[in-house]
């Protein structure tokens, strides 16, 4: 590889995508440097998926405590201490951060601590130092976005939610995407009086409509207040907390207001214009199937690009980029049938097309759907349904989409994602023997379509 530059590859951003790409490239023999202005690990490890899931685990004890008497337990529960949870979570994040640092050094990747900026297509500046590189990878991720309303600075985002001094007694969550519904479950489970306000009429836009309805019912069933056609329009500090005036002129007070109103690519002050990197709608970096930007030697992966903002997607993009550019392989990335989970309560696992996406794409569809009370809830007396749903192409019998809501569905869907990605048919699902007694067996035992 060229000795004309300090490095063969310089990666800006040590999150999931950047760390994976740099390690794989170094493994292929490239001289690699990476820079990070915050903590190595990125959004997922430091302030996203990982701490979020730890908080979800903590909040799920509420459900277990509530259900335990049905199974003969008494005097369950106890006092919850937010500070202990946050301290334990921080220790775990420190441990993971150290592992990531070790992974980089063991791979021989040089870490420069500081914000990286492109000076031109081959020069990156970090802390006033210039480094030259044959190829540059931008993996800077995204940042929370908050609507520009009066008093918005009184609100928090998921970044701050992980470090609150105390658990708010009354919390308002604005938005109804992944982060909003996950944090609604967390705060509610831990004991906060939780309200979710959404500007439209059903949470989780973009997911299958049956999934959205069942999650909504599950959240409400657990005590989350969901207010539709309502978004915060003004925040004011008052004696008792934060007064929120909503878009419909209603007013309420909370101890914390969390904006979960989306994330934007972290592209500002990065020198992208200087280097000639083209941004598409929403300031996302436009890339081709090999993660190449409009500049020949500059690549981008993860949330900063115009693709899907999920950690495993960034990992796959970073890995494929490194294999292609430094490992002599030809690895374009395909985002088709990317599975996803929402760690709401109840949780969601999903892969492939929703019913409406399949219909809009022109498929003649057969829908198989089962709504049932999970076995675990029977003795507990919990009135709640789980959902299993298959969207099937009526012409070819191929399963186009698989959607599940209920206990353990994120774990369940990984295997079904293999089946959907492999293009298996409903008949092949039916030939598979179920595992009994599980909820997952519904996905191979639904015989009658509910609609076509
Ligand atoms: P989403 O884009 O999923 O949701 C944003 C929400 O905010 C939507 O409900 C949107 O409403 C609403 N909203 C947007 N603008 C406004 C506004 N001006 N006023 C009021 N409401 C508004 O973003 P998230 O922040 O929840 O998550 C960001 C990304 O992070 C996700 O897309 C996902 O890729 C990733 N993520 C994945 C997780 C997982 O895999 N489990 C967990 C957390 C995040 P509307 O529907 O009307 O647009």
Are the C-beta atoms of 350 and 339 separated by less than 8 Å? Answer: yes
**What torsion do the CA atoms of 416, 420, 424, 426 make, to the nearest 10 degrees?**
70
Of the candidates 389, 305, 395, the residue with the CA atom closest to the CA atom of residue 353: 389
Q: What is the CATH number of the domain that holds 185?
A: 3.50.50.60
3-state secondary structure 205-266: CCCCHHHHHHHHHHHHHCCCEEEECCCEEEEEEECCEEEEEECCCCEEEECEEEECCCEEEC
pLDDT range class, residue 378, cuts 50, 70, 90:
very high
Taking only the tens place, the pLDDT of each residue in 264-285 is 999 999 999 999 999 999 999 9
Other CB atoms within a 10 A radius of the CB of residue 203 amount to: 25
Express as a percent the part of the chain with pLDDT over 70. 99
In the annotation, is 436 catalytic? yes
Q: Tell me: the pLDDT tens digits for 314-347?
A: 999 999 999 999 999 999 999 999 999 999 999 9
**Domain region containing 12:** 7-143+264-326
Which residue has a Cα nearest atom 46 of ligand 1?
A: 205
Ligand 1, atom 7, residue with closest C-alpha: 261
Nearest atom (ligand 1) to Cα of 341: 41
Whole-prediction pTM: 0.98
Token pair for 51: 């701490």
Show the beta-strand stretches assigned E in 306-360: 340-342, 348-352
What is the reported pLDDT for 3?
79
Same domain as 71, residue 180:
no
Which residues fall within 8 angstroms of residue 51, CB to CB, at 6 or more apart? 89, 92, 93, 162
CB–CB of 300/287 below 8 Å?
yes
196 and 160 co-located in one domain: yes
Same domain, 159 and 139: no
For residues 18 and 112, state if they share a domain: yes
Residue recorded with tokens 């105390």: 166
Range 368-394 average pLDDT: 97
Number of domains composing the chain: 3
- pLDDT of 451 higher than 90: no
Q: What is the per-residue pLDDT for 240?
A: 87
Residue 317 CA to residue 15 CA, distance in Å, equals 13
Handedness of CA 421, 424, 429, 435 (dihedral sign): negative
Regarding whether 226 and 120 lie in a shared domain, the answer is: no
Percent above pLDDT 90 for the chain: 98
pLDDT tens digits, 7-60 = 999 999 999 999 999 999 999 999 999 999 999 999 999 999 999 999 999 999
Same domain, 133 and 85: yes
Ligand 1 centre from 183 Cα, in Å?
12
> In which residue are the tokens 């995407």 written?
177
**Does residue 199 fall inside a structural domain?**
yes
Q: Is the pLDDT of residue 228 over 80?
A: yes
pLDDT at 388 over 90: yes
Residue 2 lies in a domain: no
Looking at per-residue pLDDT, the higher value among 75 and 32 belongs to 32
- CA separation for the pair 403, 383 (Å, rounded): 21
Q: Are 120 and 268 part of one and the same domain?
A: yes
pLDDT (mean) for 161-172: 98
Residue 201 lies in a domain: yes
Handedness of CA 361, 365, 368, 371 (dihedral sign): positive
* pLDDT for position 2: 62
Answer yes or no: do 322 and 283 share one domain.
yes
Q: How far does residue 145's CA lie from ligand 1's centre (Å)?
A: 9
Q: What is the pLDDT of residue 1?
A: 59
- Output the CA–CA distances (angstroms, integers) from residue 4 to 24, 71, 104, 271, 451, in the order listed: 22, 70, 24, 22, 64
Mean per-residue pLDDT over the chain, rounded: 97
- Active-site residue, selected from the candidate residues 130, 229, 403, 436: 436
């Amino acid at each position: 590889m060229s000795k004309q530059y300090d490095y063969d590859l310089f990666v800006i951003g040590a999150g999931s995508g950047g760390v994976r790409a740099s390690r794989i490239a170094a493994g292929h023999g490239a001289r690699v440097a990476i820079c990070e202005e915050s903590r190595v690990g990125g959004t997922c490890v430091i302030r996203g998926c990982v701490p979020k899931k730890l908080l979800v685990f903590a909040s799920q004890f509420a459900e277990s405590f509530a259900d335990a008497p049905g199974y003969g337990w008494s005097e369950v529960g106890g006092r919850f201490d937010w500070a202990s949870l946050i301290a334990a979570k921080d220790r775990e994040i420190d441990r993971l951060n150290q592992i990531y640092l070790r992974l980089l050094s063991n791979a021989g990747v040089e870490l420069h601590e500081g914000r990286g900026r492109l000076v031109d297509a081959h020069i990156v500046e970090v802390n006033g130092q210039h480094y030259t590189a044959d190829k540059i990878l931008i993996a800077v991720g995204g940042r929370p976005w908050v609507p520009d309303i009066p008093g918005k600075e009184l609100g928090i985002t998921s970044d701050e939610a992980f470090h609150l001094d105390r658990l708010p007694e009354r919390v308002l969550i604005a938005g109804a995407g992944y982060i909003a519904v996950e944090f609604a479950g967390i705060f509610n489970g831990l004991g906060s009086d939780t309200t979710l306000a959404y500007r439209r009429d059903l949470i989780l836009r973009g997911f299958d409509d049956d999934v959205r309805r069942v999650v909504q019912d599950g959240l409400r069933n657990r005590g989350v207040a969901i207010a539709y056609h309502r978004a915060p329009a003004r925040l004011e500090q008052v004696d008792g907390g934060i007064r929120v005036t909503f878009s419909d002129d209603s007013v309420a007070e909370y101890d914390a207001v969390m904006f979960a109103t989306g994330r934007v690519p972290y592209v500002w002050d990065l020198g992208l214009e200087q280097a000639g990197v083209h941004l598409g709608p929403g300031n996302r970096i436009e890339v081709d199937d090999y993660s190449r930007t409009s500049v020949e030697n500059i690549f981008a992966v993860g949330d900063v690009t115009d693709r899907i903002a999920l950690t495993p997607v960034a990992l796959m993009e970073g890995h494929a980029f490194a294999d292609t550019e430094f490992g002599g392989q030809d690895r374009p990335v395909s985002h088709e049938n990317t599975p996803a989970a929402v760690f709401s309560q109840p949780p969601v696992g999903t892969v492939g097309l929703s019913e409406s996406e399949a219909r809009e794409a022109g498929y003649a569809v057969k829908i198989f759907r089962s709504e049932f009370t999970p076995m675990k809830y029977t003795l507990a007396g919990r009135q709640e349904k789980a959902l299993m749903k298959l969207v099937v192409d009526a012409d070819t019998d191929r399963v186009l989409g698989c959607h599940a809501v209920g206990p353990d569905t994120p774990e369940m869907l990984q295997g079904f994602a293999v089946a959907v990605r492999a293009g298996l048919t409903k008949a092949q699902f039916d030939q598979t023997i179920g595992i009994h007694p599980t909820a997952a067996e519904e996905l191979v035992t639904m015989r009658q379509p509910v609609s076509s």
